[in-house]
């Protein structure tokens, strides 16, 4: 396979994959073009839904919820188990489509579908563990308990960079929790969304009596997203994307007292201490900073390196950056695929210019393959040595840029880690127990994810995923994230003959 994909072939390849996945007919007719970042070509056209259609979809989803909430949770888990089984059967095709539409290298495309399968397994088990509590009551002959009930329709707004997995974290939990889901995917990745919708329909057909509208895909632009965000029949909005998007969605959902689960920007750092295992650190940094072409919300964007090992580490990173192969993400040797589009490239170049103006030294960052593929945006990942944590460093740029900073004392490194508006993921590379534990302690990293001797990206689904500050505070996937998709009721039952009041209050009539 050549270093860059050949134009002219991808649209038919995409059609074949879509046909095998069960996507065709009206799903592939409409005004909106679906493009591939591999070549910039149009792969297919898809429908566009306006606010009215979204409104009808929400009405159907609400009706589906009213039926689905009465299905016992373990039975709801069976639907998710079947969905996981269907995903296993189409893993290779769906992964290939993720690569074609989002530009991920093959193993990351497969990893994304695996993440969907993992959350289905997790949610299936969870369907028998939506536990409440029994709570000690102060009143004699009383029992107090906490129970969990379905909420209603969950609106999921997802981003291009994890075009299928992020929906599945939300949807798999929502379905076992007894909720319905309306999904508005990124306008940049409608084909993978259509494919997932088709796979889900097959699972639903095997299950038998899934209410129509339990899972609905709405393809559209801002209007469609806003219709979802503003509808009071959607008690939960789970939105993944930029901090700017979250700033608009959060208050609108709050205005109607809805619940927002926000997964927004990350500006993830790793601290490299004098005792770090540098072989392991270089590999971890390479994956976290260059993997997915720097387009994960968890991508490593800031490297905070101790003075004593700075030169040695930066030299090794420059070698790694120089040797990494950029190009066709389907080729086995490629580690860095294309950026999603020209706008992403423009934003990256602006950030690099700003870094240079602030005294940064940039290695890499240039566009490659432009002559053969003027509509695709492949870049060499950029390593940027910075004299200080400037405004540019403190902003999230969704591209493969790694800013490198120096530190002297560990406390200073922790301060730099925390002194940005975002709070998603973070790491420390050290073999010193004190540094590791301090980083994980209350005075250490302020992020939702804090790791030792692994990079900030590539989390498993078993833990709760999300972060603080401008990252939005939401938690998805594992641990007890399911609680965000249910409502809690506190129940007090009096099985005695008297009516003792709490707090010793007397009220005799
Ligand atoms: C995202 O980039 O929106 O931890 C999600 C990770 C992946 C999920 C990233 N499991 O990098």
Residues 327-350, mean pLDDT to the nearest whole number: 98
Distance CA 380, CA 390 (A): 23
- What are 134's strand-pairing partners? 145
Place of tokens 């927004």: 264
The answer on pLDDT for 356 being more than 60 is yes
Of 112, 162, 268, 426, best ligand 1 pocket probe by most atoms within 8 Å of the beta carbon: 162
For residue 458, report the distance from its CA to the centre of ligand 1, in Å: 6
Residue 237 main-chain phi, psi, to 5 deg: -115, 120
* pLDDT tens, residue by residue, 50-62: 999 999 999 999 9
Interval 225-249 mean pLDDT: 97
Task: Report the distance separating Cα 144 and Cα 357, nearest Å.
Answer: 63
pLDDT tens digits, one per residue of 446-476: 999 999 999 999 999 999 999 999 999 999 9
428-440 pLDDT, tens digit each: 999 999 999 999 9
Tell me which residue has its CA closest to atom 1 in ligand 1.
297
Tokens standing for 239?
């939105």
Query: pLDDT at residue 16 above 80?
Result: yes
Q: In ligand 1, which atom is closest to the CA atom of 115?
A: 10
Ligand 1 probe mutation, 425, 458, 464, most atoms within 8 A of CB: 458
Residues 6+ apart with CB under 8 A from 154: 170, 171, 174, 179, 180, 181, 182, 234, 235, 236, 237, 238, 485
The mean pLDDT value for 180-195 works out to: 98
pLDDT digits (tens, 9 = 90+) for 166-179: 999 999 999 999 99
Question: Considering 86, 101, 115, 263, which one is annotated as catalytic?
Answer: 263
* pLDDT band, residue 3 (cuts 50/70/90): confident
For residue 499, count CB atoms less than 10 angstroms from its CB and return exposed for 0-12, middle for 13-18, buried for 19 or more.
exposed
**Ligand 1 and 477: CB distance under 6 A:** no
Q: Ligand 1 centre from 121 Cα, in Å? A: 18
- pLDDT tops 80 at residue 125: yes
Confidence check: pLDDT of 1 > 50: no
Is 212 annotated as catalytic? no
Mean pLDDT over 268-288 rounds to: 98
Radius of gyration of the chain (CA): 24
């Amino acid at each position: 396979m050549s270093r860059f994909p050949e134009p002219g072939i991808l649209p038919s390849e995409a059609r074949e994959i879509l046909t095998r996945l069960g996507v065709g007919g009206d799903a592939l007719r409409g005004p909106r073009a679906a493009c591939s970042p591999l070549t910039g070509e149009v792969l297919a056209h898809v429908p566009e839904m306006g606010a009215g259609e979204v409104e009808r979809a929400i009405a159907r989803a609400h009706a589906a919820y009213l039926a689905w909430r009465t299905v016992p949770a373990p039975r709801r888990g069976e639907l998710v188990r079947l969905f996981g089984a269907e995903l296993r059967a189409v893993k290779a095709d769906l992964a290939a489509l993720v690569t074609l539409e989002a530009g991920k290298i093959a193993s990351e495309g497969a990893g994304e579908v695996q993440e969907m399968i993992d959350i289905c397994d997790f949610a299936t088990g969870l369907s028998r563990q939506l536990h409440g509590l029994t709570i000690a009551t102060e009143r004699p002959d009383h029992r107090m308990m906490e129970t969990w009930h379905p909420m209603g329709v969950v609106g999921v707004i997802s981003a291009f960079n994890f075009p299928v997995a992020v929906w599945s974290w939300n949807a798999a939990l929502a379905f076992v929790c007894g909720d319905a889901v309306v999904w508005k995917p990124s306008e940049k990745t409608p084909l993978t969304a259509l494919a997932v919708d088709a796979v889900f329909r097959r699972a639903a057909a095997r299950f038998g009596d899934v209410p129509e509208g339990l899972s609905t895909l709405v393809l559209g632009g801002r209007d469609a997203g806003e219709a979802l965000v503003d509808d009071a029949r959607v008690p939960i909005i789970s939105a993944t994307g930029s901090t700017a998007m979250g700033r608009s969605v959060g208050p609108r959902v709050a205005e109607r007292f809805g619940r927002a689960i926000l997964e927004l920007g990350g500006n993830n750092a790793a601290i490299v201490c004098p005792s770090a295992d540098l072989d392991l650190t270089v590999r971890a940094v390479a994956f976290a900073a260059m993997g997915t072409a720097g387009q994960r919300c968890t991508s490593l964007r800031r490297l905070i390196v101790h003075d004593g090992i700075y030169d040695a580490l930066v030299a090794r990173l420059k070698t790694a950056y120089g040797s990494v192969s950029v190009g066709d993400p389907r080729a086995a040797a490629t580690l860095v695929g294309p950026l999603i589009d020209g706008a992403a490239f423009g934003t990256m170049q602006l950030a690099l210019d700003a870094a240079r103006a602030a005294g940064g030294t940039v290695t890499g960052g240039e566009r490659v393959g432009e002559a053969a593929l003027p509509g695709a945006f492949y870049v060499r990942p950029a390593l940027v040595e910075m004299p200080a944590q400037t405004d540019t460093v403190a902003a999230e740029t969704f591209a493969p840029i790694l800013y490198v900073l120096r530190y002297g004392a560990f406390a200073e490194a922790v301060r730099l880690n925390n002194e940005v508006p975002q709070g998603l993921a973070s790491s420390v590379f050290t073999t010193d127990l004190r540094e590791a534990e301090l980083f994980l302690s209350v005075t250490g990293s302020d992020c939702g994810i804090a790791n030792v001797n692994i990079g900030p990206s590539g989390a498993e689904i078993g833990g709760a995923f999300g972060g603080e500050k401008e990252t939005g505070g939401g938690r998805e996937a594992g641990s007890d994230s399911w609680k965000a998709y249910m409502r809690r009721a506190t129940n007090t039952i009096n099985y005695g003959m008297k009516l003792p009041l709490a707090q010793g209050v007397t009220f005799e009539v």
